[in-house]
Structure 1
Amino acid sequence: MRRFLKTGAIGLLALLVLVAIGLAIWEPLLAERAAPPPDHKYDSIIARDTFGVPHIFGKTDPDVAYGVAYAHAEDDFATLQEAVAMTRGRLGAMTGAAGAQTDYALALLGARATAHRDYMKQPADVRALLDAYASGLNKYAERHPGEVKLAKLFPANGEDIATGFVLRSPFFFGLDQTLGALVGETPLPVESAGATPDAPDPGALPAGTDVNEGNQNGSNAFVVAPKRSADGFTRVVSNSHQPWRGPVAWYELVVHSGTGWNFAGATFPGVPFPVLGHNETLGWTNTVNRPDLTDVYKLVLDGGGTHYRFDGKWLPLERTRVWLHVKIGPFVLPVPKTVLRSVHGPAIANKNGIFAIRYGGADQMRMIEEYYRLTRARNFAEWQKALAIQGVPATNFLYGDAAGNIAYFYNASFPNRKPGFDYAKVLPGDTSRDLTAGTVPFANVPRNVNPASGFLINANNTPYQAAGAGSEMRAGDYSPLLGIETDTTNRGTRALELMGADGAISRADLERIKYDTTVSRVGWAAKWFADIMAVDARGDRQIAAAKAVLAKWDWNYDGKGPADSIAALLLRAGNKWHYQRRPEADPREELGKAAAYLQDHFGRLDPPLGTVLRLRQGKVDLPLDGGPDVLRAAALWDEDPDGRLSVKHGDSFIMFMEWDKQGQVNSQSIQPFGAATTRPASPHYADQAPLFVAHKLKPVRFAPASLRGHVERVYRP
């Protein structure tokens, strides 16, 4: 009997070992190896300046795109290969549960199918760029096999790169918030200002846990025309607020092609060209806008749940089984999921029914051509022609050029909608009466071109607050069906206050405005702090002491006052509900939490802001000023074990561009860390940090001749 039990135990152990081995190796064994791009010999030259920023030269644009991929891989191959894994539905096998959620979104939105269907329909020059970029990644992976995390991930091809555009673009206007609410069975996000998050809504989801904080992307943009500048220059300030690490962190570069493609700016991992910045004659920046571009429909199912009613007919609900690959420790577990689709678009089932989604810019990949054409435009007319492609689903564009033109385009792929339906709420999914194909024409996209005020701003606020009194777009000129937001931010209010009060805006003025750390005395933040100061301490000594400290606050996050730290924590708490259009949080509760945090970690309620708010990268640990929703933005942070708040999102890539009276361009820029953000051994891991915290910029050596004497190395990849 003992021998039998011993034999059985050995057999069970052997079986468990086999299962463990299988779970560890099945994913790469079953993964399909992609076809490589067409064979082609690329000739790129990379010149690294003294800050490590790559200047990529090539005879052709594809030569340049090849070099862009290789240079970026040298600095951040870890993130780039995650971008490739994402397009293959293998991110979960690399990063775990969070990656598997992205893999589910890939399948749900049909991004891979869209790219596969439309790739060969793209213009030949666009496909050549994508193939070249993929080839640059492949070359790096071939030379550095020890850095590759997943077998059969390479070679990548142009279709992989295109898929990344299709998948990521809708998340910039908040589609992930809607998907997360439906999957998590929580209230849908409020899609327009003035709506009440908890308002009764026939067919809406019941109240529950709040959706993820998410969608805290921001940005500031400032544009000044010659008539408003003190010296007759045109100026554009790009001040995007993105995460400082990861798949949507900025990467600075300069490109030069023998065909005349010259551009300085920044790009994202997986993108073969800059997406904002300037060329010789024009430049632009982007800020997140938040129009209502997502329509949700509740389907009516038959008794078997296999068909849904639409215009009196029962149509089959498309069902596709997908397997998510989820890494847990050394194992990769297969998790089955069912992807649903109706005539409206992707659908999600939860305990309240099945909800289908239609969203702006869905099922297309024109955004790739659009961004590329924008970088090659030589004047305002050519630039507008590129923007009219309407491939970029949403984002504000603020523009300036050597001719003195300035403009603000509230760019979005607005879905065609019919009067008589409330598209901010869940719609009936059994009729075509509330469903219309197509996108609102580009001619109807809101814009403010060459305003009389001579300046334009945006800080994720309504487009009707951009140019000052007498120069604004009028809300009455645009259909409410566009879903344009009417809410604002402290940053938007403050920028307009500062720009509007300055009749002749100098370069120094613009720097002062950009780095402003003040909260406006009007707007949501002022009311929030008034509500906090009205809190009844009710005998709580710590809350009473916190109010006493806050009473000393000078409404400025410059790090000089005793109340800056507690005010920063409270503004962050306020921004969580304000930016997400939720009900106001309990001011007494938030004041108590802020006070407890400071007391627990610092032993006092008034530690200096620079002691609390930090820029940390490797061995670099520097004090920061600013805060959430001020123009010197520190939007999100991690709470480190020592209590310090390590900023991870806020002011990121900053670029000042200007064209003088003769039309000559000049620019300066800065990043929070450096060019090589995931390479601790690199001298450029955090070399820009001291300048960044000191509000200083470095030169952008755009003209090739300006590189002389400032080159670290030159090589062919």
Structure 2
Amino acid sequence: MAASTYVPAHVQHHGAVAAPDGRYAADIRRTEYGIPHILAKDHGSLGYGYGYAFAQDNLCVMASWAITLRGERSRYFGPEAMSDDPARPAPNLVSDVYYKSIHASGVLRRVLAGTAPHGPSKELRALVDGYVAGYNRYLGDTGVDRLPDPTCRGKDWVGPITATDVWMNLLDLGQLAGSSQFKEAIVGAEEGDEQERGPAPGSNGWALGREATRSGHGMLLADPHFPWNGIRRFYQVQLTIPGVLDVSGGSLYGTPLVQIGHNASLAWTHTVSHAQRFTLFKLDLVKGDRTSYLVDGRAEPMGRQEVTVTTRDSVVTRTLYTSRYGPVLAEGWSDESAFALADVNAANLRFADEWLAMAAARDVAGLREAQETYQGMPFVYTLATDVAGTAYFADASAVPHVTDAQAERCVKQTMGEAYVLDGSTSACLWGSDPDAVEPGIFGPARQPRMIRADYVANANASPWLTNPEAPLSDYPRIYGNVRKQLDLRTRVGLDMIDANRPFTLEKLQSTATGKRNLSAEIARADLMALCRAEPVLTASDGRRVKVRPACKVLARWDAHARLDSEGAVLWREFFTGLDRPSPEGEPQPNIWWRVKFDPERPLTTPRGLDRNQPVVSLALADAVQFFQDNRIPYTLTPAQAQRYGSVPLPGCTEGEGCFDRVRMRGPLGADGRYPEVDTGSSFMMAVELTPRGPRGRTVLTYSLSANPASPHHADQTVLFSRGQWVTERFTEAEIKADPRLTTTTLRG
């Protein structure tokens, strides 16, 4: 049977979908750090309990995001203020026009009209409806004027949410690596508006098989690097319907599903995939008609959308255009040509049912079958392991079906890594595979996959070196490169696995939070030699700088980014300063390495510093000069320089080769402080799967609640700062054994 109609028996959802009497019933049990464990008799009730619990902790974030998804930010916050999109904020007017256009397109209505696997299953629909009802129950019981979070207490933009808001949030999540990046390009920006790029999602993920663990059972490390503020934060939750579903892990705000987690015998995580999520099509316009384009020599008129947005003071109407490929970009449009965006996730909600089916799978085989049924992962790799110690990796995500041969024929140019295809011929439309659930995507047989008994790992690199002992290369180029230089975070992660296996759960925890800085390990010796040879260097402004005192601090530094690592920040300012344009303004990446990249030795090259490159001396002189001019001690530590709220944080940046990275939106200030950390390790989970049940350790780096008045606003952040973890409570006995257990019983 075709994949589009066949749902394997063991990945079908079983059990009651909604209560027979139409009433919801759920228990919210909260253990230490406020972590909720939702117990319910059916999917609708499970969503009800989850929506209520989430609203208790984070109602203001969802209330604001609902206004965004409806295209109403200009009405409440003004058209020029920036939206609350943590990954790709835009002026409110641009954001409103963009989301109004999605509503007007009818895409959500069409997807919801479908049946599984193309449209949502009845279980997922019940979860969403229950989630909405639970959220609104809490808001109704509490009242807008009595909300505990001062962020939105008494605000006129706070109100009940609808199922459409939740479905739109899921649809927008799927487009995070596609259409959502093009808001201003689609709408057209006013002169002077520049879209601000938020923190880029990333992740580390390890799935350890029986040959890489001391116990011979599977272990998993999840370390997603998502924004620390806004709707793309993770919420920690356990969702249980006895005999049907029992899953614990990280759930992105506003979704009634666990995206990264485990059940009794299976654990999985995701990292952001290297594959392209969209292509652009270059349109050849009809001479004298800027709104018609040629396909196979025939003129096709563009579709036209009139989008109206209400602002505080007026009503604004914008005209958008569409093509057979997708929306036409307002940017880059001339009398001769224009560009259209084709997003593989433009109408994809399959991933939501896929996560639900994965949560119910018992082993890697069941997870794999769930992925082959729905084929909906939007932009992530999957890494998984089970109690038998089978390690699994796949880019099972939706990828535009552009073969290498088609790329050779049809790619007119590239924008970054994205293909720009020839839109003037139907021969360049996306293809399809017989095992694909929908046309236009690659089927499972073409996806990069690996099953191992030792391990699979990824840190947002291509699939190539998922396991260096068995490189992957037989996949279309649109999935990612091969034999290309690895980033330092990928290298340090693979080295950490090699140096520490076989793992125990405790060793897995300590390894993940070890705070190694790979750039220092492979380059500091050459910098010290430069310091000895030239104790006075010339900075970019021509001033002479004595660097020897700073170099003495770097020589004593422990080459880690712990809270008290003296010299860690000085190294960062030096090393990140190497990445600068030439005097002519041209990029010059990697010129400072002494040993250049060798594809035959990808795990050990490049390395060392080429002291003959002027950029090395300039970077050191400029960093030391900045510290001297601002009277910042060379011994400045991460604890002194970087914080989240009032909590000092360890860690360093991805560019330095740090595993559990942190990122700040802005440079080091004259006061020796960075702007607040805005992304990095977010929901960390180390779990060992044993025949007696899972042993889990977790830490939610920014804590459970965005409400600054909540006792769970920063309690886990303090743990993360200290390198500590929460011992997970998964079984009924573990939950009931918590002396701080509280239970809220909901009926409605």
TM-score range, shorter chain: 0.7 to 0.9
CA spacing shift, 1:701–1:79, aligned 2, 3 Å: same
Residue of structure 1 equivalent to 2:611: none
Which residue of 556, 559, 573 maps to 2:560?
A: 556
Q: CA deviation at 1:488?
A: 2.7
Q: 3-state DSSP class of the match of 2:730?
A: coil
> Which residue does 1:499 correspond to in 2?
497
Q: Distance in 1 between matches of 2:193 and 2:516?
A: 33
Q: Is the 8 A contact 1:672 1:688 kept in 2?
A: yes
SS of the aligned residue for 1:350 comes to: coil
User: Which of residues 411, 417, 421 in structure 1 aligns to 2:410?
Assistant: 421
3-state SS, counterpart of residue 491 of structure 1: helix
Partner residue, 1:455: 455
Change (3 A) 1:591 1:65: farther
Q: Tell me the equivalent position of 1:652.
A: 682
User: Within 2, Cα distance between the matches of 1:93 and 1:237?
Assistant: 44
Are 2:285 and 2:293, in contact at CA under 8 Å, matched by a contact in 1? yes
1:275 positional shift = 1.1
Contact 1:360 1:412 in 2 (8 A): no
Q: Is the 8 A contact 2:276 2:400 kept in 1?
A: no
1:582 Cα deviation from its structure 2 partner? 7.0
Aligned-partner residue type, residue 682 of structure 2: S
Maintained 8 Å contact 1:564/1:608: yes
Which of the residues 156, 169, 190 maps onto 1:164? 169
Corresponding residue for 2:218? Answer: 234
Cα deviation digits, residues 590-619 of structure 1 (max 9, x gap)? 656655654565533432232112232xxx
**Deviation digits for residues 111-137 of structure 1 (CA, Å, limit 9, x no counterpart):** 972211221323222211111111122
The answer to whether residue 437 in structure 2 is matched with residue 444 in structure 1 is no
Q: How does 1:361-380 map to 2 (within 5 A)?
A: 361-380=345-364
- Which of 648, 655, 664 pairs up with 1:622? 648
- Whether 1:307 and 2:292 are equivalent positions in the alignment is yes
Aligned pair in 2 of structure 1 residues 151, 113: CA closer, same or farther (>3 Å)? farther
Contact kept, 8 Å, 1:255 with 1:263, in 2: the verdict is yes
Question: Cα distance 1:622–1:416, how it changes in 2: closer, same or farther (>3 A)?
Answer: closer
Deviation at 1:94, TM superposition (A): 4.5
2:209 paired with 1:225? yes
Structure 1 residues 663 and 95, CA gap change in structure 2 (3 angstroms)? farther
Equivalent of 2:476 in 466, 469, 479: 479
Asked if 1:540 corresponds to 2:539, the answer is no
Counterpart of 2:635 (choices 606, 610, 615) is 606
Q: Is the 8 A contact 1:45 1:58 kept in 2?
A: yes
Deviation at 1:351, TM superposition (A): 5.1
Residues 363 and 457 (structure 1), Cα distance of their counterparts in 2 relative to 1, 3 Å cut: same
AA paired with 2:722? A
Deviation at residue 75 of structure 1 after TM alignment: 0.4
What is the deviation of 1:427?
2.9
Question: 1:432-461 deviations in whole A, cap 9, x for unaligned?
Answer: 12212511102211111125xx01211112
Amino acid at match of 1:493: R
Q: Give the counterpart of 1:400 among 385, 394, 413.
A: 385
- SS of the residue corresponding to residue 267 of structure 2 reads strand
- 1:240–1:651 contact (8 Å) kept in structure 2: yes
Q: Which moved more, 1:70-79 or 1:86-95?
A: 86-95
Q: Is the 8 A contact 1:107 1:339 kept in 2?
A: no
Measured in 1, the distance between the counterparts of 2:523 and 2:306 equals 47
Indicate the residue corresponding to 1:383 in structure 2.
367
| 1:340 to 2:369 alignment | no
Contact preservation (8 Å) 1:323, 1:337: yes
| CA deviation map 1:199-221 (0-9, x unaligned) | xxxxxxxxx99985545222111
**Deviation per residue, 1:557-614 (Å, 9 max, x gap):** 235554211223455567899xxx9753976776566556545655334322321122
Residue aligned with 2:68, SS: helix
Question: Which residue pairs with 1:205 in the alignment?
Answer: none
Deviations, residues 411-447 of structure 1 (Å, cap 9, x unaligned): 3212112252336443332221221251110221111
Letter in 1 for 2:423: G
1:321–1:337 contact (8 Å) kept in structure 2: yes
Structure 2: unaligned runs, 5 residues or longer:
1-19, 84-91, 115-119, 432-439, 591-614
Matching residue of 1:410 = 395
Distance 1:526 1:159, change over 3 A: farther
Partners of 1:94 and 1:54 lie apart in 2 by 32
From the superposition, tell whether residues 458 and 677 of structure 1 become closer, same or farther in structure 2 (CA, over 3 Å).
same
| Aligned mates of 2:21, 2:574 — CA distance in 1 | 57
In 2: Cα distance, 1:368 partner to 1:73 partner: 21
Instruction: Return 5+ residue gaps in structure 1 as ranges.
Output: 1-37, 186-207
Residue in 2 that maps onto 1:584? 589
Contact 1:234 1:400 in 2 (8 A): yes
Q: Within 5 Å, give how 1:18-417 maps onto structure 2.
A: 40-96=22-78, 97-99=81-83, 100=92, 101-107=94-100, 113-121=106-114, 122-143=120-141, 144-146=143-145, 154-171=159-176, 173=177, 175-177=179-181, 212-214=196-198, 216-302=200-286, 303-325=288-310, 331=312, 333-350=314-331, 352-353=333-334, 354-388=338-372, 389-417=374-402
Residue type matched to 1:252 in 2?
Q
Alignment equivalent of 1:430, drawn from 407, 413, 424: 424
Q: Percent identity?
A: 23
1:160 to 1:689, Cα distance in 2 relative to 1, 3 A? closer
Report the 3-state secondary structure (helix = DSSP H, G, I; strand = E; otherwise coil) of the residue aligned with 1:299.
strand
Q: What is the distance in 1 between the residues matched to 2:319 and 2:155? A: 25
CA-CA distance at 1:89 after TM superposition: 1.7
- Asked if structure 1 preserves the Cα contact closer than 8 Å seen for 2:217 and 2:386, the reply is no
Residue 197 of structure 1 corresponds to which residue in structure 2? Answer: none
Structure 2 CA distance for aligned equivalents of residues 640 and 332 of structure 1? 38
- Does structure 2 retain, via aligned residues, the 8 Å contact 1:659–1:666? yes
Give the distance between the partners of 2:95 and 2:320, measured in 1 at CA: 13
Q: Report the RMSD for the aligned CA atoms in angstroms.
A: 3.6
Cα displacement (A) at 1:701: 0.8
CA contact (8 A) 2:172 2:180 kept: no
Contact kept, 8 Å, 2:550 with 2:634, in 1: the verdict is: no
Distance 1:525 1:333, change over 3 A: farther
Distance 1:558 1:397 in 2: 30
CA contact (8 A) 2:71 2:99 kept: yes
Query: When the two structures are superposed, what TM-score results if normalisation uses the length of structure 2?
Result: 0.77
CA contact (8 A) 1:264 1:277 kept: yes
Query: CA separation in 2, counterparts of 1:335 and 1:518?
Result: 52
Shift of 1:108: 5.1
TM-score by length of 1: 0.80
Q: Which amino acid aligns with 1:684?
A: H
- C-alpha change, 1:483 and 1:608, in structure 2 (3 Å) is closer
Aligned 8 A contact 1:130 1:158 in 2: yes
In the TM superposition, residue 59 of structure 1 has moved relative to its aligned partner by: 0.7
Q: How many residues align?
A: 641
Shift of 1:287: 1.0
Distance 1:88 1:500, change over 3 A: same
| Alpha-carbon distance change, 357 to 47 in structure 1, aligned in 2, over 3 angstroms | same
Q: Distance in 2 between matches of 1:531 and 1:392?
A: 49
The 2-side partners of 1:113 and 1:289 are apart by: 29
**Are 1:683 and 2:668 counterparts?**
no
